[in-house]
Amino acid sequence: MEWIISIDSFSGVESRIFTVVNKCNYTVWPGILANAGQPALSTTGFALQKGQSRTISVPAGWSGRLWGRTHCTEDSGTGKFSCLTGDCDSSKLECSGRGATPPATLAEFKLDGSGGLDFFDVSLVDGYNLPMLVVPQGGSGANCTSTGCVADLIGSCPSELRVTSEGESGGRGVACQSACGAFQQPQYCCSGPYNTPETCRPSQYSAAFKSACPRAYSYAYDDRTSTFTCASSADYVITFCASPTTRLALLPTPYT
């Protein structure tokens, strides 16, 4: 059963609706960060129990990112809130203008405020911590379709990229780093002499991400099959841990 627990408004401004849904078998703590110069939404961090959803009003023209935090706790002595993955280092439930600490699966949006095209994607450039699916509602256009990564990249994560919890040795881990995050080398980070589409090419690691999640960004210049657009003022449903059946129904073959 899915519970809708609240509707957050953005008064006085034409708005869209983000519906954030938790289909995981555990609690997820979504975080939201507005891009520079954009207004903060009515919430920048909250908890979603298994089966819960929350609708958030987002002003037209807004741009920013949304992600999920996992394995979060609040220190009983200090009240400090922290998470093993996706933590925004605010020390509280609200992220308050802080972004996700990699590795984290990101949903990125640039909404058009004048009825033109929205741009959106799901990115693994900063690594992976949760399956995520983004489904547009009510938009139009040939490229107005669902995107995301619902594969279990933690289970298949190479040992050199795996992030484990304190005290864990050789276990499943809690997240999977990108090669850039793990090795901090220009050829993986598309930096220095590799900062153009011509010089920064997929690595064996980003290629594995792309194979598992063909519509998600796997490295910085993975634009051609990873950026999606909608016209006509779409709303968006962002789901953590969408089922494989949902994936097969909603994710067509990527462009070639």
Neighbours of 95 (CB within 10 A): 25
Can you list the domains of the chain with their CATH numbers?
Answer: 3-250 (2.60.110.10)
The pLDDT score that the predictor gives to residue 249 is 40
The pLDDT score that the predictor gives to residue 37 is 94
CA distance 88 to 132: 18
Per-residue pLDDT for the chain (256 aa), expressed as one digit of tens each? 445 555 565 544 478 999 999 999 999 999 999 999 999 999 999 999 999 999 999 998 999 999 999 999 999 999 999 999 999 999 999 999 999 999 999 999 999 977 689 999 999 999 999 999 999 999 999 999 999 999 999 999 999 999 998 755 556 899 999 999 999 999 999 999 999 999 999 999 999 999 999 999 999 999 889 999 999 889 999 999 998 655 434 444 343 3
The pLDDT score that the predictor gives to residue 26 is 96
Predicted structure pTM score: 0.90
Sequence-ordered alpha helix ranges (H) in the chain: 179-183, 186-189, 204-212, 244-250
Q: Which two tokens stand for residue 134?
A: 């983004």
